[in-house]
Amino acid sequence: MICDFTGSTCFCRRSVRNMPVSSSGSPIPAKIFLAFTGASSHIPITGLIATFLSRPPTWLSMQRWLMGGVLGALALRMTMESRH
């Protein structure tokens, strides 16, 4: 049925008017829908974070090799300076 939104006999308004409303004034089914979509959007994000944190970080091994090289170069420099 077509609703013209001008008369009081509109079925669209009547169905919304009879819908249970929360204390904030918005319909309860809308709040339930938003709660489910909000909660379900957190699940994939937390899964991605858990997957990222479970893998061994490659940057950490790269940092260890880099700092080992720097410290090795400093050790060589110190031994060369003590000979002079």
What is the average pLDDT across 44-61? 86
More reliable by pLDDT, 26 or 28: 28
Would the pLDDT of 13 be above 50? Answer: no
List phi, psi (to 5°) of 40: -75, -20
C-alpha triplet 15, 17, 18: angle, nearest 5°: 70
What average pLDDT does range 11-35 have in this prediction? 64
Q: pTM, whole model, 2 decimals? A: 0.37
Average pLDDT over residues 67-81: 95
Taking the C-alpha atoms of residue 52 and residue 54, their distance in angstroms, rounded to an integer, is 6
Residue ranges covered by each domain of the chain: 11-83
